[in-house]
Amino acid sequence: MFAPLKKAFKKDQLILLGSGLVINFLMIILFISQPQFLNLLELKIYDLYLRSYHQPAATEVPVIIDLDEKSLSELGQWPWPRYRVALLFKYLQAYGAAAVVSDIIFVEPDRTSPVAIKADIKRELKIDVEFSGMPDSLMDYDKLLAYNLQTGPFVLGINFVARSGLGDMEPSTRHACDFPPAKVAVLSPPGSMTPHQALFSSGEMICPTPSLAEAQPRVGFITISPDPDSVYRRVPLLYSWKDKIYPSLALAALIQATGEENMVLKLSPLGVEAVKFNGIVIPTDKRAQMLINYRGKSRTFQYISASDILNKKLPPKALEGRIAFIGTSAAGLKDIRPIPLDPSYPGVEAHATVVDNILSQQFLSIPDWAKGLEFAGMVAAGIVTTLLLMWARASWLVIPLIGLACAMWYGSILIYKEQHFFLSPMYSYITLALTFFSLTVIKFWREEHAKKFIHGAFAHYLAPSVISQIMDNPGSLSLDGQEKDITIQFSDVRSFTSLSEKLTPSQVTDLLHDYLTPMTRIITENEGTLDKFIGDAVMAFWNAPLDVECHQEKALATALAQQEKLKELNELFIEKYGFTIDVGIGIHSGPVRVGNMGSADLFDYTLIGDNVNLASRLEGLTKYYGQKLVVSQAIKDACCNHYHFRILDSVRVKGKLEPVTIYTAYPPAEAEARKEELELYAEAHDHYIHQRFAEAVELFERIRDTGVEETLCAMYIDRCNHLMENPPGEDWDGVFTHKTK
């Protein structure tokens, strides 16, 4: 019987192993395909790390010259006249800034220049206007600004757009742009991409007005694109346009501030391998994009209002050696962008952050080997979880799986904090969770299947209630047992040996099946527990392993129902075998020890105790007294309100010193039908107890002559005659001692 269980166990392990491998294979497909929804989730994990472990600014080099609400309120709305912009640039130079960088692109000509005003009036009003006393250098503010751009450490912003967006641009933005590109040395081993294949490239440049462009200032692009969730996390350092390479605004600012013109771009067949500037290797992705190591929310770096610069409120050399970024935090100028740390982050501060990252060399990166390690972690998580679920019990899985999950999470965090590498544990976690959930469901389903198999298999050997208790509480499979008040029933077919001699072995088997099947069903239907078969005998009990209310009455009702069922069976047996059978039933109730009894290797759920032996003895007395049912005083005491009891005798059964009063029981309807007989018997028995043996004999003979209770009455007549010939002493208690079982 256990061979199928062992085979099923191995099969379950193979099912779990196969399922785990299938889940791993599906996760590998997901890992390779990188679906968008998982990429978005991975970005959120990155944001969580950045929010939790970001560091403060490492340098004080970047400073933001802010076109804030204060500046606009004091000096007028934007755009300002270009002479004011020129003054802002020159004042910043005077304060000692190593580089003055504009995050604003001066795309359109200045409409407030005198020459522009004069041309507008002439065109619209047909009037010639002359400005007296105005120096020629102030007649065109754009030329003034262009002249100043040639005399200081100034960097202007440009922007790259895709060619498809060109049609949406105003005609005024379409003018020739020709700025000096970056000086980039390209290391390109055989088989590598070209720079223009690896880098982002553009179909159009948005650049300053031609008068400013002619000044040939240093430029850097402000182009930065959000990730698919519209959050800005990275910036390209280099861009390709017309087969030339241009630096980002932050990189151009560093070139201007340090005087280091040259940089190195290392390529591979997959794209960009590294960007090196001033001896600093800047980690980037294959498109030369650098992860921005944001230092905090907006205003992490120093902000100085542009109006304070123009009003000369700073001390001399206040910006010595610093890089001044001109930008805006004013909401109306629409340079506010969401980043992982702040949903309203000024775009100019992102460029300042890049400068801080490069100068401090505190980079965040996702190295080339990161995906390989993430892949290995994902596969390992799936395999370990599968093996644990295959071999370990559920209670043993908690600590290893929690340990594995914590190791992946905190290991990733440690690498992020110490090495500034981002290794996403997402796929490992998904694999662990999916494997655990799926295999747990499969394991639960298989265990339920196994439970049904065990329940069905052992239902032929144990009572369903015992099997259910074992299933619900496997710890009950011990040899301890418990003391409990139990009602025990023994039943036996009388003279079965002689009856079986008339039948073939097959017929004997059929007879037992036909008899035992309905008898045991009656037991279980009345909440009894089938203990064992002893040939044609049956042992059953009530109130274990589950508590049974009024268990004495349930046991007695079972016995009476079995007697009624036997009448139906005997009609079948007459037709099938040519004879009927008689059954004796003995019932007793009392404390016994109940539980798993036997050896450490093989045991049985059963009862032991003196009361078990007494119940067996009562069944043996049924034939002696000519009764189908014999019960003890304990049964009578518990059931006397619902059944009628006829006293049979007070006896000492073999093996016991204490006397026991024994009875047979009748349902109320039968007792009423036999009322006269039962009253006459009670009177006869009373004569017997009080040693009025002659009167007792007379009454017992009257009952016997009616054809009922012949065996019982004959026994008492013989006993009374013997006692009349051998009168008992005054100490006689009416107890009869049985010498045999």
Report DSSP letters for 687-717, one per residue: HHHTT-HHHHHHHHHHHHHTTSSHHHHHHHH
Q: Which amino acid is at 140?
A: D
Give the predicted TM-score (pTM) of the model.
0.66
Supply the pLDDT for residue 172. Answer: 38
590: Cβ contacts below 8 Å, ≥ 6 apart: 485, 486, 609, 610, 611, 614, 634
Candidates 592, 613, 595, 596; CA nearest to 539 is 613
Provide the 3-class DSSP secondary structure of residue 270: coil
Helix extents (H) in 150-299: 195-198, 210-213, 249-258
CB 101 within 8 A of CB 351: yes
Which token pair is 597?
A: 């009894």
Q: What is the pLDDT of residues 626-674, one digit of tens each?
A: 999 999 999 999 998 899 999 999 998 776 778 999 999 999 999 999 9
Taking the chain (741 residues) in runs of 10, the rounded mean pLDDT of each run is 47 81 92 93 95 93 94 89 93 96 91 81 79 75 89 93 45 62 92 91 87 86 93 95 93 95 93 93 94 95 95 94 92 83 93 96 92 93 88 74 89 93 93 88 73 63 60 59 92 88 89 93 90 91 89 96 95 92 96 82 81 93 94 94 94 81 95 93 94 94 90 93 90 82 61
Provide the 3-class DSSP secondary structure of residue 208: coil
CB 55 within 8 A of CB 420: no
b vs e for 76-102, b when ≥16 Cβ sit within 10 Å of the residue's Cβ?
eeebbbbbbbbbbbbbbbbbebbbbbb
Report how far residue 506's alpha carbon sits from residue 581's, in angstroms, rounded to the nearest whole number: 18
Supply the pLDDT for residue 185. Answer: 93
CB 179 within 8 A of CB 158: yes
Q: What is the pLDDT of residues 583-641, one digit of tens each?
A: 999 999 999 999 877 776 676 778 999 999 999 999 999 999 999 999 999 999 999 88
Angle between helices 36-53 and 394-419 (to 10 degrees): 70
Strands 644-652 and 583-598: unpaired
